[in-house]
Each structure stands twice: as structure tokens, then as C-alpha cells.
Structure 1
């Protein structure tokens, strides 16, 4: 018998009653939702077409999905999307994209914070299958929010340091009560300066550019200071800056400027801020004065805060900014001026959650999570062991970003976008001098870069040409620096210059080196143009580009930590997706060679394969230099098998056909395996297999999958790549295939993991993105579906027969030969940490890895403990200092970790460029 609460309904009458009750409840919810929707439409004054489209989309989504939480929040997303997709008549043009939706008002009416809006919008985009253009719009809004939040938190202390008696409470009271605007106090100037900053920032289209936005803020603060000094209002200035306002001109007759002082105090870079001031802020202010938006002296840029014009200037700035917000559909950044509105929009939401943690750790500041997420690069899974530790883990995004720019500037100090004397000497040593061809190539691609940077891209507004020129000049300077570093390292190791000459005539190498240099610049300056934009601009395949990344990192030791992390992400992006695009040269190279995809065991070296018992491939094998003799063989070689040492083992001698010169020797391994494949395809797959296993291992760890099942999944994945690479990988993503392999093998062995569980664990990985499993290509005509549909329609048809071999219900279940897995080297980071850049004082954990522990705790209290205690601590720490130091590097090198010489990597990449050129010709 069933309990009464769960007893099934047995009669038609009771079934109809249940159905009527459900329909009645649904109608109630429908009426409530429609009533909330009408309120939104009325408040925003939406046109009938937009209203109809919004409600139609909302009801369709609601019939397919359960919309949890306040229904008004989902209606808010539906209204915003419909308004941004609408086209309305305009006075200046036939139609305007967007319905002038006031996002701030929409959120306030819906009682939805901005932080929650971003989360809901992403989910709404997934449910309605929104195009990438609109998803990019939401991502830029979120990044803009993070940037502006971060900058405003720096604006408070800047103004408090500039102006005395500055009070945010007074600012709130003034906004609520005043009838006429006047610069009576620092609070009035605070609001004026912030609105001026927003107007200029919006016109320059740098809303989500952290570095430039911050330096623009410092420039605006300097401009207000100069106007205060010129107006004789030194009584408003703090003692620290009042002295600077004594004279209106400096020693050389130039108007006084405090940018250098502000940068020293508040983590700025004076060169950057002065460039922003001279080339972007001043021209914009002059233009606004000439057009009548502002009143003041257009030559000296003074008189902006005079009593007679202050109200006019304030109101015109407000109006211009409001027009931008309505046109672009952005949130109103003036909300930061009101602490109450900040709370409504969720600006301090994360700070509140972290406040207890911050206090318990004794910290003065703790950057909010949304800032760290969107403004600081995550370390990819393959890069965690190979980047140095942060000197200050709690630095703000602004100090972190400005430090990255400062490191780049230091790297390029006293250099120009031209070859140095040392580089010219290296280039002159080539058989055919490449200096002119290099110059011409940089001119050509420099123009391409500037044109692309200034044009509208991916629904992003075009950026000013001055920004493009500035970035291009720095990128070309870095190109020459990197080229010199690479050639200097090689010149120390090579006797003849034939390979050097070949490299200098290799187009793909130079374009890739320039593209990578510009990508470093774009990343360092936190530019809106994000990878792979540079590849698309240069029409450079990722398959060619990735080859130069590791060469650069190994040749240039002074790249900062975040740049190395970013380049690791870039390399992973190519390996996981870009190299598998339908138009990738990888497919051409594969077809020309007319051979199957090699397995992991065929491309990895013995030292890179995990030992698996007596028949392991992890023997000593041939040395790395002898392996590269195969790779470096020119096209005119012949292989002569000979007997060595009176044994029956054959050794291949690589010999030039014309000169009979012996170019290299390949010895067999102890187990008689064939030489590892060393062509460019195999070398690419070596990195690809390594990346694949690192991600699979992490995924299985989070899914609590044991090692035996992990190896079965890996074997299935390798079978998919070797036998079905075109059907499964072309135009798709590595992570899609990995997740399907996890699901199918776990299912057939009886340890089933649902796709929900798999995707939940996948989202923990740093490179994860929802579109990877929500939008998977199903056909070459770009039909798309979610990961489950791909699994059912494409994947299982190719892999079902093989996957069933792992089933315990078949005779083969426990007898399927498992593929060897890559050996992951553990390279611990140095436990030492520098206390300050200004002092050579280091901290080391008491129980550092492989460091002997003292028999008792060692303590030293400054001004209290005897010197002998400090000597004992130093003696213990110094024990580990004799160990080899860890060298920063990327994965994929075959030599020891401590080997700093990049020649092997260089030779391998050079051969890849040359070999691919021969294949594609």
C-alpha cells in the first residue's frame, strides 16, 4: 500500500481535478508575471513592438525552463535584451541599434543589483541561445563595472589627499538639498571631477581599459587642481599640495603639474598619465569648450570651476554623459557618488562578505572578488608550476596593472622601434642581410594593426588612432628586443649561420613574433582588444603562432609573472581550439603527409611517459640532442642503417646526400622502440596530449574518479583522437571531447557520472566557459546544440563500439590494453618570499619542502631575542639554498627543468616553421 501522501491518482475524475488545480496555479503565476511586466514597460515607456517581442520571448523561455527566484529579475533580463536588439528611428540617422533603455532605471524598478544582473543575463543568454555579439556586450559591461569600481576606490583617497575637509556625507547632503551648483567645497569639486572623468572616458571608448582609465583619472585630478590654483582657492588644498600651488608655472615656464606627485603616491606611471593628459584629455576639453559644452579658456584650460560658469559646466557634463548611457545601454557610473545607490547596485556586496575574513587576517585591504576575477589573469592548469609566486598576493588590480606596465617600460628603456647596434651586428652576419625586409614587414603589419585597432570590432566601438599608434610603436620596440634576445642565445651555440639565415627569411616566424609582441603590449595595458584579436587582424593561423610563444618566454627572462601566465593561456587557447579550426594549416599538413594521427606514446619522449611495469616506455632511450638531430635534418638527407659495436641493433646515421657530412646519429632505446616522431605535427601533438591529460586528471580528481578508471578514460580519449580526429575535433574544442569520454567510459564500467556532475567539475577549471558545453558545432553548416546533443548525435556514433570494450559485462572488460599516460613533472616553487622591493629581506616557511625540520621550534623576537637564535634560523634556511634554482619555463621542453638554454626549443620551433612552409608549398 502507498502512503496517502504519495498514493497515485487512480480515477479520471481525480486526474482532472489535479490538472485543473495545476492550471489554476499556473494562471495565477502568469497573471502576476504579466502584471510585473506591465509595470516595467510603463516605467520605461517601451514601444509596443518591443513589448510584444519581450513577452513572447519570456513566455517561450518560461515554458521550457524553471525560472527560480524573483520573476521580475528574469523580466528585467528579457526587457534589456529586447531593447538592445531593437532598432528605432533617429533624427540623425534612419535607425539606431538599441532602444535607449535606461539600464540603471530598469534595475532599480526590478530591484535587481548590477552584480546579480550579470549573473542572470548570462543564464538568460544560454536559455535563449543569444549570439556571441550580445554575450560580449554583457562581458564588457561586467568588466566595465569591475574597472570603474576599482578606480573609484582609488579616487576617494586621491581627493582626500588633495583637498582638505573633504566629506562624502557633505556630498550626499549637497546632492539632496542644493538648488544652485557652486564650487564651495571639495565635495562639489569631487562630483564635478568624477563626471568630467566619465564624459572623457566614454568619448575615448576606454571604459573597460584599466590602465588608461586610471591614468585619465589622475589627469583629470591634475586638471581640477590646476583650476583651483588658478582661481586662487588654495584654501581648499591640503598642506601637502598647497605648496605646489604657490606658483602657477614651473621653473621652465610650463603650467604647474602634479601628475608625477600623484603617481608616486597612488601607484601611477607618470609617463602614461602625462601622455593621456597631453594627447587625449587636453584636446577633448578644448573641443568641449569650442563646442559650448564647457565654458572656460580653451588655450590655458582654466576657468572651468569659476562661480559664474560652474553650474552650466556641471549640468552640461551631466547631460552629455546621460546621452552616452542611454545610447550605449550602459549602467550609470554616477551611482558611485551615492553610497546608498552603491549598495543598491551591489558595489560593496562582495566587500561585505569578505570583511570578516579581512579583519581576521589583520589586513588593511582586500580586493573584492569581482575585481580579481575580471582584472587579474588566472593561472592555467599547465602553468601552475611554472610561474613565480607573487611578491604581494594582496596587491590591488590597479597596482598590479601599473606594475605590469612599469616592467614592460623597464624592459624597453632606452630602446626605440628599430634594431639596436647589437642586433644589427647579428643580422649582418646572415648570408643575406634581412634588415630591410624586416623593416618593410613591420611597416605593413603596423598599418594593419592600427587600422584594425581603430575600427569597430565584435560590437565594440572603434578606438582612437592615437591609441593604436602608441601601442604599435611599443609592440615594434618589443619585437626588436625579443628578436635580439633570441638571436643572441642562438649565436652562442651555432657555428654556421645557415639556420639563422633561413629563420630570418621565414615569414611566419616574424609575423608570429610581432603578433606575440603586440599581444604582450595589449595585455600589459589591459586593452579591450583581447586574444585572438591580433591573430584575426593579421590573418595569422594559431597553429603557426603558438610555436614562437615558448621561444620568447625562454629567451626573455625579464617578462613579468602575469605576462607569462597570459602567454600560457594563449598557448592553451591555440592547443585546445584555434589549431583545430576548419581552415587551420594543421589539416593541410596532415593531409600532405598522408599519415594517421600519431598516438601519445609515439610523440612523447620516454622520460615524458609514466612507468607502467616491465614493458614501460620510460627507459633512458636516446639523448635529447640526438633526437633533435632528426628534427634539424635538411631536405637533402639520407638515412643509412649501420651496425654499431658488434651488436645486432641498427643505428640510423643522418647524412647529407651531396657532402656526405654526418648530420646526426639516432640510437635505438634499450627496448628497441622506433625513433620518436619529430615532425611539426608530432611536436604539436606532444603539447596537445600533455594539455589534455593535465585537464583530464584535474577533472577526474574533482569527480573522485580512481586511477584505473582515469587510465581507461585516457585510453578512450586517445582512440578518439587517433581514429576519429576529423569527425570529432574539427571546429570543436578539446574540453568537449574530454567530457564526453569521461561520461561514456564511466557509464559502461558501471561508475556512472552524469553530465551535470561532469560540467559542474569542469566549471572549476580556470579555462572553463559555459559556451563550451552549451554551444557545440553539430554539422559543418554551423548547426549547434548543447554537449548532450553532440554526444547523442555525433560522438557516440563514432565511439560506442570501442567504449563498450571497457564494459565489465563483456569478456574484453578487463583486458583492453591501456595507453600509457604522460608523466607530469612536479616542480615546486621556491618557498622564499621577498618582504619588500626596497629591502633584501626574505621569508621562508618553517617547514619548506625537503628542508630539514629543526629539533625544536626556532623563534626570534626583534629587540628581545639573542643573536644566536637568528643565526640558528639562518643556518637552517641556508641548507636548502645549495639546491638548483627553478627556472621559469613553459611545458613541452624535454631537457631538465634547471636548463636555461633555449636552443632545443628554438631549433624545434625553427624546424616546425620551415617544415610547414615546405608542406604548404
Structure 2
């Protein structure tokens, strides 16, 4: 949270016994930091920026645990924010300051698991921009996909290959031992996916590429007759693999993809096209040597060592140029079960279950008690879609008869235009047409089902087929489903930007797709996880995207009677306009979320009164929602009710803690709330406390006091405490384990208790300050920082609340993960 409390000016400089400033107490830390930077060969500018950031964080937080880990976070952020020119041209740069993350982790004695936890905390404490936090989320997602692939790689590699009993002795006489074979196979995959990063943006494609690499290495092992490395129990062995007649041609033609790829045709196509092109480029650039035609000879005694080193160099260059995780490190966790399990918790997770429309979810799979497996889930999603719709290449005869030639022609023209937009913007150019082809087939399937089910009760549905916006939103929804099925890195609302569709229009199609794609209890084309995804993105549209200031929703409101219809009014049969339907969904979503929060806060009996406050904010103070989030308004409604009715609790921190247990919760909702948009169009954001006090209360006070307060007392204090209106000259508490304060004192002011230790600037002996700092250092906290901009205890309390909120965020995330499997 941002600091909205004015800082108290002390106006005095504290000195140490030697007459030096308090910065001297940073010297041991600075020396350790500088030593780390020398080991990393860090440039001075990045080092300076990182230490400056570190000192700023230390002003407000106590950094618990190994200080080297926090050094790592500060340096990583500073490195990511810098670029390094290269010799490739005027605009050629590399990201990440040419310092690999692995080097940082190694020098700071930090695991990936610890780093992923602490970098999130660091981004919060250092108030990093939301864009940087998003970059970290994208980086983590990329790594999670690779880690998920590595787990499958580990299992499959151990099925097809065998570590010889005499591996240690054998490795001395052979250039390609089992361990080295493992290493070169994994490095081949890493280099292959980074050769064309846009070809492996989703989990299914990455898995197929990994299998192509194992398949190639397996053929090379067979061709070299390295029978000592072959697992004889693997059912995919050629029949005569161990006979003298087995030759290179048989090895080259042997394929094991069918044994591990449920989507065999797609994997086979990748092997013949994308993977073949990647290998050809490796031969052209001498990244690997061997037989270019057969792709054999890669692990021969003549070529193995050279290829192994070359692939390493190629991958290292890539890591340096983008500043990302060095994924070779995953091999280090092969024999470390505890670290492996920790990383496993951070891998791709089962989709959460939104609060709305749980009744529309398909039945749980029979094997739902098994642990969620990302690759299997993605494969199942794609297989079910493909099996249901892949044979559909055009509108069905039923649709053609009902719609007519003109409507069909217009529909196909619109779809063709959309396809070209998608092909241009979708990063995986090789797969763009295939992905869109499946989305188009799904669109034709859904149109058929929609017409068949609704034409009897809604004859106007036929007219919608010729409407551009109906086809665009339906195609966008179908494309989003295909991308989600493959577990792509391109997350919603990317598809809205791709097709130039606004969220207010898009949300209308989701309920229709859920109804006709899942078919309730009947067998449909959408799996349970895909329906969850649709429900989740609908909530995303309703809670924030549709409320953006450029949304057409605001134009509708401008022309609507004021106030807007209430919950009772939009449930009437006659209220069927787009505004009423939208508000109906908003009210339902708000009711469910308020109910869940009230239940956790033991406010169940107060839910109706809180709902009335929320209803008033939507219908009468609608501008409160502009560029904001529904949950922000809900939390403020709960708290203003507590204040008006003079309840002793819960506190706002309790409301946020309960909120974090909701499936859609993210900490940016209460950390980044719009306050105003300045003349330059820049958004000023602060925490929800500032929003509540200075925006929400002025708008809602009169209604809430008239509705709830005894005798309509409009003078009741609704502001969130603590929040001073002026800057009182009060002591500043510096640490919490000991009662140490800083305050201004008059010359006549005396000690107030026998146990109180006072240090008076420029008059007390230096040994008193030495003693006080020994107490501070002994507590494990930072030394006293007597600066000229000391903050008051209110600010200190807020800092403690902020730090606790950050820790609570992490705990809530872990609890969510454990609940997902049950849902």
C-alpha cells in the first residue's frame, strides 16, 4: 500500500560517537553487497541502483532471513530494468544486463523456489510498477510450463533409456554416458524451443517438441548400437533392435511418438515440419554436426562432445540476451526430492472455480481424485474439442437452411477477416492457421446447437447470424477456448485486443457458449476446466473490464434514466434490455461475493443492509465503478456499514484477509485503486484506504447515515482510522521488540519513567547511542535511522499492516492451491 500519511519533520541529525552519520551502519552491509557484485562482475550503475533500492526498502521493512537473498532480488530487478547495446546495430540490445539469473542464484546461495517466493515480496515492498509485476508473472508462467515439461521429460527419458550398472567406469571410456545423454537431450529441447520461441507458447506444443527431441536422440542411440543405454523393457523397441542386422535406416525410420503422444498426428506433423526446420537451421549454423540428411551421428564418439558444448554455448547466449531463467538448472533437482516437490507446487495449477454458475459445470471426471496433471489436462481438453468438432469444416446444412445464402456469405466473410487479424497477431505463425481452423469448427458446431435449441423460443436468433458483432464475439470466444485448451501463455484479455472487441460486448456471448458447449449434464464439447475458464473470464469482464472508461457501457448509461434500475427492477420479465441484463449479472455477482465475505467475517445477519449500500453505489453512484473493480466497492460497502453502525469490528484488514480467500482475489485490487486521471491522461493510483477515505466516503456518506445511523446522525466519523487530518508532533516508534521512539523535546522536558533511556542530540554522551544501537542490532532489526523525514507512529503502524498484508497474500495463495483440487 502507498503511504498517504504526511511524514513528520524532526529537523535534527543524529550522529554516532565518532561524529559520522548513521549511514556508517550500512557499511558492513554495503561491503557484503559490493563483494557480491564483484563476484558477479556487476557494472557500477546497476550496482548503485540496486543498493539504492535496498536502502529504500530497509527504511520501511525489516528483511528477515538471509540478506543475500534480498541482495539477489534487488540486483535482479535492477538488471531487468537495464539494457546492454550489442554490436548487432544501433538498435540491437540485450535484456538483463548480461548477468544470468542462475549466476545470481548461485552466488546468493538461493534456490529457484526461494527466489520465486521472495521476488514477489520484493516487488510489493519496492513498489514496483504493475507492468513489472506482470513481467514477473509471465516469466513464472513460462518457467512453470518448462518445469511441467521437465517432469514429463524425466519420466519418459527414464522409461526409454537405462543407466548401465557400471556407469562410473563406463563413462571414463566413452564420450556419451547415460548422464551426458540425459544432458544433451534436455539441452537439445531447450535450444530447439528457443530457436523459434513463438512456436512453443503453449503446453501441448512444447510437449510435442520435447517428444521430438527424445525421439531423435533415441534413434541416434539405436543407430550407434549403444544397447547399454537402451531400456529393454520399453514396449516401443524395434523387434530386431539387438540383432547384427539392425542398421541406421531402421533406426532412422523408427518412431516412438505414438507411445507417448495421445495427439499423435499433431506430434508427427511437428516432427516433419517445425522440428525438421529447426534441426536444419542447427546444421546450417554448425550448432550441431552429423548427418544432415538422416539427423544421425549426433552422439557418435566423433561428434558428441563437440555437439554437447555447442548446444551449451547456444543456450547460454540466449539466456544472456533475454535475462530469463536458465532452464538447464532443472537437471540439478533430479536427485533432490524436497526441492523437486517445492517446485512442483509452483507449476501450472488447476483452474479455480468461480462463484457464479457452478451449476453449469459438467460432472467431475471419474478419476477426479487423482492429482491435477497439466499436460494430461491440456491434452484432454484438445482431444475432446478435436473429437467433437474437427470434422466440421463449414456451416451445417441445418444452419444453411435456416439462415439463407446471404447471411451465410456475410458470416463467412466476417470470419475470413477475423482469421487474417489472428494470423498476423498470433505469435506462433506456424500454428496460427491450425488453431484458428479448430476455433472455426467449434464456432460452426455452436451455431448449429444454438439454432436448434433456441429457434423455437427465440426466432430472432436466426437474424443474429448475419450480425457482425455476434459472429466476432462468438469467434473470439471459440478462439479463446482453443488457446486455453492448449494452455497458452497468451492469457485473456489478449483475444479481445486481437479481435478489437470490447469486454461489454464480449461478455454477452459467454453464457450462450457455456449453455450450448457443455450441455449441462449431457456430454458436450467443453471439459469441466474449460467451462471454469469461461465462467472466470465472464467474471473478469463483469468485475472490471466492462467498467473501463472507454467501454460502450458508459454511453448506454448516459442515455438511461437515472437512477439505474435496482435489483428488483432488473428481475422483472419486462426488463430485458442490454443494460438490464448486464446489471442483473452484476447484482448476482455482487450478491454472491458479499455473501461469501459476510460469512467469513461473521456478518451473515448484516448481509441485506450491506447489499443495500452496494446496490445504491451501482445505481446512484455509478461513476465510482469507472476504471475500478467491483471488489473495491464491495469491501468499502462492508466497512462503511461497520463504521456507521459503530460496530467494534471487523477491521478493514480483516475484510482484506477474507477477500483473499475468494477465488478471483488478487492483491492489486486493494493496492492499486484509481484515484484520478490527470490532464495528461495518466492514472493516479493509491491504496484502497485512500480511495475509501477521500473518494468513497464523500459519495456514500449521506445515503449510509440516513439509511443506517441512529437518528440520521450525519456527523458520524466514517473515515478509516488511523488517518490524521494534520501532522501531530508525536513520537516515532522505530522497532517493535523494544520500545524505542524518536520525538522532539523541549529543554525542560524530563524523563517520564525510570526505565526510559533518552538520547538528546548534540548533548548526550555518545556511549548512550552506542548502547541503543546494540539493543537494536541485538533484536535482529536494522539500526536506528534518525533522518530528517521521520514518520509518525501512524505511518509505522501502516507499514506493519502493509508487511503483514504481503505475508497474508502469500498464505492465501497457498490455501487457494490446496482448495482447487477439491473443486
Q: Could you tell me the TM-score, scaled by structure 1's length?
A: 0.70
Could you tell me how far apart the structure 2 residues matched to 1:532 and 1:684 are? 19
Map of 1:702 onto structure 2: 600
Q: Which moved more, 1:382-391 or 1:440-449?
A: 382-391
The residue number in structure 1 matching 2:237 is 242
Going from structure 1 to structure 2, the CA distance change for 1:152 and 1:340 (only over 3 Å counts) comes to: closer
Aligned residue for 2:289, secondary structure, equals coil
Q: Is the 8 A contact 2:221 2:299 kept in 1?
A: yes
2:494 to 518, 527, 533: 533
Where does 1:397-436 land on structure 2 (aligned, <5 Å)? 397-416=374-393, 418-419=394-395, 423-430=396-403, 433-436=406-409
Q: How far, CA to CA, are the matches of 2:506 and 2:248 in structure 1?
A: 51
Aligned partner of 2:349 in structure 1 is 375
Which residue in the other structure is 2:438 paired with? 474
1:183-194 map, 5 Å: 183=176, 185-194=177-186
CA pair 693-312 structure 1, distance change in 2 beyond 3 A:
same
Q: Are 1:40 and 2:36 matched, yes or no?
A: yes
With over 3 angstroms needed to count, the CA separation of the structure-2 counterparts of 1:197 and 1:17, relative to structure 1, is closer
Contiguous gaps of at least 5 residues in structure 2: 1-11, 715-823
Corresponding residue number in structure 2 for 1:791: 692
Change (3 A) 1:562 1:778: same
Q: Which residue of 1 aligns with 2:701?
A: 800
Aligned partners of 2:281 and 2:551: how far apart in 1? 47
Partner of 2:421: 448
Deviation at 1:111, TM superposition (A): 2.5
Q: Which one of the candidate residues 637, 641, 644 is aligned to 1:745?
A: 641
Partner of 1:691: 589
Counting only pairs closer than 5 Å after superposition, residues 667-816 of structure 1 correspond to structure 2 as: 677-708=575-606, 710-726=607-623, 728-751=624-647, 752-780=649-677, 781=681, 782-805=683-706, 809-810=710-711
The structure-2 alpha-carbon separation of the partners of 1:69 and 1:292, relative to structure 1 and needing over 3 Å to count, comes to: same
Q: Distance in 2 between matches of 1:202 and 1:137?
A: 18
- Higher mean alpha-carbon deviation, 801-810 vs 517-526, is at 801-810
Structure 1 248/759 Cα, relative in aligned 2: closer, same or farther at 3 Å? Answer: farther
CA change 1:30–1:309 in 2 (3 A) is same
Residue number in structure 1 paired with 2:188: 196
Which aligned pairs between 1:591-610 and structure 2 lie closer than 5 A?
Answer: 591-605=558-572
3-state secondary structure, aligned to 1:746:
helix
CA-to-aligned-CA distance 1:443-488 (integer Å, 9 cap, x gap): 111111111112xxxxxxxxx3112222112111211111122122
Deviation at 1:711, TM superposition (A): 2.0
Given the alignment of the two structures, is residue 578 of structure 1 paired with residue 545 of structure 2, yes or no?
Answer: yes
How far 1:405 sits from its partner (Å)? Answer: 1.5
SS at 1:408's partner residue? helix
Classify 1:190/1:305 alpha carbon distance in 2 versus 1 (closer, same or farther; 3 Å).
same
Contact persistence 1:383–1:565 (CA under 8 A): no
Cα distance in 2 between the residues matched to 1:179 and 1:600: 78
Deviation at 1:24, TM superposition (A): 9.9
Once the two structures are superposed, residues 161-210 of structure 1 have per-residue CA deviations (whole angstroms, 9 ceiling, x without a partner) of 2123368x95xx79xx9789722x43322111111011112223266632
Q: Which residue does 2:133 correspond to in 1?
A: 135
Query: 2:161 matched to 1:260?
Result: no
Q: Give the C-alpha shift of residue 400 in structure 1.
A: 1.7
Q: Secondary structure at the match of 2:84?
A: strand
CA apart distance, 1:337 = 1.9
Contact (CA 8 Å) 1:745, 1:806: kept in 2 or not? no
- Contact persistence 1:234–1:242 (CA under 8 A): no
- Rounded to whole Å, the distance in 2 between the matches of 1:67 and 1:324 is 33
Change (3 A) 1:165 1:375: same
Q: Distance between the aligned counterparts of 2:140 and 2:173, measured in 1? A: 35
Name which structure has the greater RCO, CA cutoff 8 Å, separation 6+. 2
Distance 2:173 2:204 in 1: 35
**Under a length normalisation based on structure 2, what TM-score does the superposition of the two structures give?**
0.77
The DSSP-based 3-state class of the residue aligned with 2:474 is helix
Local SS of the residue matching 1:778: strand
Q: CA deviation at 1:561?
A: 0.5
Any conservation in 1 of the 2:350–2:372 contact (CA below 8 Å)? no
**Cα distance in 1 for residues equivalent to 2:355 and 2:465:** 34
Q: Matches of 1:561 and 1:225 in 2, distance apart?
A: 36
User: In the alignment, is residue 66 of structure 1 matched against residue 62 of structure 2?
Assistant: yes
C-alpha distance in 2, partners of 1:811/1:592?
A: 33
Asked whether the equivalents of residues 50 and 74 of structure 2 are also in contact (C-alpha less than 8 Å), the reply is: yes
**Are 1:396 and 2:373 an aligned pair?**
yes
- How many angstroms does 1:148 deviate by? 2.7
Q: Does structure 2 retain, via aligned residues, the 8 Å contact 1:228–1:305? A: yes
Matches within 5 A, 1:142-161: 142-161=140-159
Q: Distance in 2 between matches of 1:180 and 1:779?
A: 71
Kept after mapping to 1: 8 A contact 2:72/2:105: yes
Is 1:552 aligned to 2:516, yes or no?
Answer: no
Offset, 1:117? 1.8
CA RMSD of aligned residues (A): 3.0
Write the mapping of 1:455-466 to structure 2, written as runs, cut at 5 A. Answer: 464-466=428-430
CA distance in 2, matches of 1:132, 1:808: 39
Alignment size in residue pairs: 681
State the Cα deviation string for residues 211-263 of structure 1 (Å, max 9, x = none). Answer: 22222111111111112222333453223343356466999x99221110233
Q: Determine the structure 2 residue equivalent to 1:227.
A: 220
1:370-422 deviation line (CA, Å, top 9, x unaligned): 23xx3321111224444222432324222122111111111124233x22xxx
Contact 2:567 2:587 in 1 (8 A): yes
Whether 1:53 and 2:49 are equivalent positions in the alignment is: yes
1:424 Cα deviation from its structure 2 partner: 3.5
8 Å contact from structure 1 (residues 448, 538) kept in 2: yes
SS in 2 for 1:779: strand
SS at match of 1:327: helix
Tell me the residue number matched to 1:298. 292
- Name stretches of at least 5 consecutive residues in structure 1 with no aligned partner: 1-15, 352-367, 455-463, 606-626, 631-676, 814-921
Q: Is the 8 A contact 2:451 2:462 kept in 1?
A: no
